[in-house]
Structure 1
Amino acid sequence: MADYSNFVQVSGEDFTVNGEKILFRGFGLGTWMNLEHFMIGLPGTDTMIKKAFAEVYGEERSTQFFDRFLLEFMDERDFVYLKSLGVNSLRLPFNYKYFIDDQQPGRYKEEGFVYLDHIVALCEKYEIYAILDLHSVPGGQNPDWHCDTASGLPLFWEYAALRESVIGLWGHIARHYRNQAWVAAYDIVNEPSMVTNAAVFNEFYQKVIAEIRKYDQQHIIFIEGNHFTTDFSMLDPVEDPQVAYEFHFYPFVDEPAVLTPEMDRERRKEIFAAAFGKLLDIRAKYKRPVWCGELGLVLEPEQIGFQVTIIEDMLELCEANDVSWALWTYKDAACMGIVYPRKETPWRQLTGRIREIWNQQQEQEKGEALVDHMAETYFQPVSSEQRYPLQFRMRTIMQAICVEQNLKPFLQELSWEEAYQLPASFHWDQCEQWDELADLVRRYTAVSV
C-alpha cells in the first residue's frame, strides 16, 4: 500500500509536506518535450520542426533523432548540479502529441511516459519534486507558438471534443503517477489565453479535476488563469482541497523599459511590485497557495550582471511574499537557460548560422508589420484590438515559410551522421552555466559553496 505521508499537500494558503511548510524553488525544463523555436534556435513550432526533420531525413531517422534528444537532454550530472543549487522542484512541460494520436482518438500512446518517467526517476533519486505541465493541447490553448498551434487561434476553447480528449488524458496520467510522491502536482494547461466563455473555462477545470480524482486523491492540481495566466477574473472557486493556483510573471511584456539599464532600479522595483501585487490578489481571493510557475528573461553575455539584478528583483518579490517560484528555464540553446551548450558545439554552430537570418523578435515585429501593411494596402487601418490577435495568425504563415527557407536548407547541408550527433551538444560536459545566476539562486535556497 502506498505511503501518502510524504506527498506535498495544500494546507490553507501554504504547501506542506508531513505538516511542514514548503516553498517550491526551482526551474522549468522548457523546450524539451515541447520545442520552442527561440529557445532551441530552430524556426517553427514543435510539430513543424519535427516534420522538417522527417522530410529531410525520413520518418524513422527523425524518430531516432528526437528519441536521442529527449533521453540525453538531461542526465544525472544535471541533477547533481540542480542539487548544488539547492532547488527542490522541476516543472516538466510536455506536448499532448506524446500521448494522443490525432487520428486515433481514445487510444493513448505510451511513449510520453518513457520520457517523463526518465526525468521523474531522476527527480525521485535526487529528491527534487516534479510538476507535470501540459504545455500544448489539441487546437491550442492560446494563439502563440509555444502551444504548438498551426492556426494562431486558441481553438481548444471552441470545441468540446478537444477538451474532452485532454480531460481523458489527465485521467490516464493520474492513473500512472497516483502513487508517486516525487510528482508534486499536475499543471493542467499552460498559459490559456483569449478565452471568452467563462462557463467553458470553469467547466473544463471542473471536469479535469473530477477525472483526476477518479484515480488520484493525493496530488495537487494547479489551475492557471486567462491571458497567459495573468487574469483570473473568469474563474470560480473550486471545492477540491488539493487545488492551488499558478501565475506567470513577465512584467516587462507590458513595460519593456524595465529591461533598460537607464531605468532607475527603484522605479523598476515599483513597477514590478505593482504588477506582482495584482497577481498575488488571487491568493486572498481563493484562499489557496499560489505558485509563480514561470519568471525569467533572455540572457545576454554583455548584460548578464544587469540582467541578474532584474531576476533578483522578481525573485525577491516571491520570497518576500511567501510565493513558490520556478525560473524559466533550466537548459536551452543559449537563450533563457542557466545551462546551455558551448558556442563551439554542433548545435550552437547550426543555430548560430540560422540566427543570422531568423530570430523570434524579428518574427514578431514582421508579423505586426505585415498586418498593418495588409490593412493599409487593401483595407482601412485596423484597431489595436484587431491587430493583436491577427498578428498571431500572420506569424503562423511566416513560421511555415521560415521552416522551408530558414530551417530545411540548413538541415539538408548536414549528413544524417552529422545530424544524429547534434543532441550530444546538450550533454553536461558540452555545456556551460551562468555562474552569476547560480549564485543568486543559491542565495535564496540557502546553499553555500
Structure 2
Amino acid sequence: MTNSSNTFVQVVGEDFTVNGEKIVFRGFGLGSWMNLEHFMIGLPGTDTMIKQAFAEVYGDERSTAFFDRFLLEFVDEKDFEFLKKLGVNSLRIPFNYKYFIDDQNPNQYKYEGFVYLDHIISLCEKYEIYGILDLHSVPGGQNPDWHCDTNSGLPLFWEYGALRDTVIGLWGYIAQYYKDQPWVAAYDIVNEPSMVTNAAVFNEFYQKVIAEIRKYDEQHIIFIEGNTFTTDFSMIDPIDDPQVAYEFHFYPFVDEPAVLTKEMDRKRRKEIFAEGFHQLITIREKYKRPIWCGELGLVFEKEVIEFQVTIIEDMLDLCEENDVSWALWTYKDAATMGIVYPRADTPWRKLTDEIKQVWNQHKEQEKGEALVDYMAETYFQPISKERRYPLQFRMRTIMQVICVEQILKPFLQKLSWEEMYELPASFHWDQCEHWSELAALIGKYTKA
C-alpha cells in the first residue's frame, strides 16, 4: 500500500487504519541489534557486560568503533529488498535506553540513539515498511531477565520512581524528534514488564508517559504491554487516549514444552495453542482497541526446520483467523531465531560456534534453578517453586558475570583488533542465508 507522505497509522475502533483503510501489521522484530541478547548474538553476558568486555580487551575507542560498525552494517538496503519481497509491512525496532540516557547524568538525553534509529527508519520510509520503536531495556530492568540488560536479576524499574521518571522524559524526547515521521507507526513503551506487584505504580507510569508524549505528539499510536512478559493485563486500567493500542507476546511452549516435539499430535498442539491464544486476545474485548502480537517465534534447527515451520504456521494461523496483527521474533541474528543469519563459514559464526562448545544459554535457567536448590539444601531448608523462580534469575546474573570473565573475554583475546573489527561484515546480506521454508510460509499470509 502506498501512502501519502503525511498520513499516519491510526487507531479506529478495534482496527489499525491508514487513510481510512484497515491495515494489519505483518512483520518482524529486527532482532539483537541496539539491545544485544546473548543467545541470539552468540556471546555470553548482558548487552552492557558484552560491551564492557570488548572495552576491557580492545580499549574504549576501539570498542565504540566496533559497535558503531555493527549497528550501521547489521542490516542494509539488501535486507529491506528482501523484506519487501516477503511482503511484510512492519518492523519492530528494539533499542536499549543507554543510547539515550547516561546513567551518571540521566536528565541530559543523548542524541546518539537517533543516528542508529534513523539508519533503519530511513530505510523503512524508502521501502514503505512501518517502523515500531520498541524500548527493550530500561534503567534497573523492567523484568528480571537478561534481555532487559539487568545485572541484578530484579525488575528494579518498578521499585524506583526516579528510574521511571527518566524514561517518561526519554519518551517525550523521542516523540519530539519523530512527531512528524509517519513511517514510525507507533511507540512501544516498554518491552515485557514482569514481576510488577503494584498496580497503581504500573498504571501511573503508563498515564504519565502517555501525557509526556502527547505534549509533543498527538499522532502516533502508543502500545501498552501487560505484566508477566506481556501475557497478563489484569492490572492495566483502560486508557482514555484515542491512539492507544495493546500488545501481547505469544510463546505457548514456555508453559507447554511438549508442543515443540514431533511426538505431540498436531491437532493436540493446535488445541493448546488456541486455548492460550484466545485467553490472550480477550484484551481486545476488555479495552475495545486493536491488539498486536508483538512477538512470536522459536529457535530454528536445520534438522527439523520443516516441522518447526508447521509450529510457526499454527501460531500465525491463529493471528490471521482472529484478525490480529503480528511480528515474528526475529528478522536477523547469529543463527538462532532469525529468518536471516550469517553463514557458518563467516568469522562471526566461526567465533560463536566455538563459544557454543563451552557455553549454552539454553541450560542457563536449569543451572540457575539447580544452584538455588543447592544453596537451599546445603545451608537452609528446601524452598518453594514460587520462591525458586525469581531467585534463579538472580543466580543467573552471577553466572553471566563468570561466563563473561572466563569465556567471552578469553575468546576475544584470541582475536587481533584487525580480525575483530571485520566481524560485523558477517551480517552483510551477501554473507548470510535465510530459511526459505519460513519465507514461503510468510508469503502465504502477505500474498507476496
Per the normalisation by structure 1, the TM-score is 0.99
Match of 2:194 in 1: 193
Match of 1:322 in 2: 323
Match of 2:406 in 1: 405
Structure 1: which 5+ residue stretches go unaligned?
none
1:275 aligns with 2:286: no
Match of 1:115 in 2: 116
- Contact 1:220–1:243 (CA<8 Å) still a contact in 2? yes
SS in 1 for 2:337: coil
1:265 aligns with 2:291: no
1:211-230 pair list within 5 angstroms = 211-230=212-231
CA distance in 2, matches of 1:388, 1:256: 17
Q: Deviations 1:413-443 (Å, cap 9, x if unpaired)?
A: 0000000000000000000000000000000
Match of 1:142 in 2: 143
Match of 2:237 in 1: 236
Q: Which moved more, 1:436-445 or 1:356-365?
A: 356-365
SS in 2 for 1:94: strand
Letter in 1 for 2:442: V
Match of 1:6 in 2: 7
Instruction: Report the CA distance between 1:5 and its aligned residue.
Output: 5.4
Instruction: Report the CA distance between 1:366 and its aligned residue.
Output: 0.7
1:237-386 pair list within 5 angstroms = 237-386=238-387
Match of 2:30 in 1: 29
Q: Deviations 1:124-145 (Å, cap 9, x if unpaired)?
A: 0000000000000000000000
Q: Deviations 1:99-125 (Å, cap 9, x if unpaired)?
A: 000001210111100000000000000
Letter in 1 for 2:388: R
CA distance in 2, matches of 1:21, 1:370: 51
Letter in 1 for 2:129: I
Q: Deviations 1:13-46 (Å, cap 9, x if unpaired)?
A: 0000010000000000111000000000000000
SS in 2 for 1:107: strand
SS in 2 for 1:131: strand
Structure 2: which 5+ residue stretches go unaligned?
none
- Contact 1:5–1:18 (CA<8 Å) still a contact in 2? no
1:65-76 pair list within 5 angstroms = 65-76=66-77
SS in 2 for 1:392: helix
Instruction: Report the CA distance between 1:406 and its aligned residue.
Output: 1.1
CA distance in 2, matches of 1:176, 1:253: 38
CA distance in 2, matches of 1:191, 1:368: 22
Instruction: Report the CA distance between 1:362 and its aligned residue.
Output: 1.4
CA distance in 2, matches of 1:4, 1:312: 34
CA distance in 2, matches of 1:181, 1:61: 36
CA distance in 1, matches of 2:389, 2:336: 25
CA distance in 2, matches of 1:26, 1:445: 9
SS in 1 for 2:36: coil
Distance verdict in 2 for CA 1:444–1:317, change over 3 Å: same
Instruction: Report the CA distance between 1:354 and its aligned residue.
Output: 0.3
1:76-87 pair list within 5 angstroms = 76-87=77-88
Q: Deviations 1:325-382 (Å, cap 9, x if unpaired)?
A: 0000000000000000000000000000100000111112111100011001100100
CA distance in 2, matches of 1:227, 1:365: 20
CA distance in 2, matches of 1:403, 1:115: 26
- Contact 1:135–1:147 (CA<8 Å) still a contact in 2? yes
CA distance in 2, matches of 1:125, 1:229: 32
CA distance in 2, matches of 1:108, 1:240: 26
Q: Deviations 1:58-116 (Å, cap 9, x if unpaired)?
A: 00000000000000000000000000000000000000000000001210111100000
Instruction: Report the CA distance between 1:392 and its aligned residue.
Output: 0.0
CA distance in 2, matches of 1:351, 1:420: 15
Letter in 2 for 1:425: S
CA distance in 2, matches of 1:21, 1:422: 42
Instruction: Report the CA distance between 1:280 and its aligned residue.
Output: 0.5
1:87-126 pair list within 5 angstroms = 87-126=88-127
Match of 1:164 in 2: 165
Per the normalisation by structure 2, the TM-score is 0.99
SS in 2 for 1:196: coil
Letter in 2 for 1:287: K
4+ residue runs over 6 A deviation: none
CA distance in 1, matches of 2:363, 2:159: 30
Letter in 1 for 2:313: E
CA distance in 2, matches of 1:5, 1:313: 37
- Contact 1:90–1:129 (CA<8 Å) still a contact in 2? yes
CA distance in 2, matches of 1:363, 1:17: 44
1:41 aligns with 2:42: yes
CA distance in 2, matches of 1:4, 1:302: 45
CA distance in 2, matches of 1:286, 1:364: 35
CA distance in 1, matches of 2:6, 2:33: 31
Letter in 2 for 1:139: G
- Contact 1:5–1:17 (CA<8 Å) still a contact in 2? no
Letter in 2 for 1:266: K
Aligned-residue Cα RMSD (Å) equals 0.7
Instruction: Report the CA distance between 1:4 and its aligned residue.
Output: 7.9
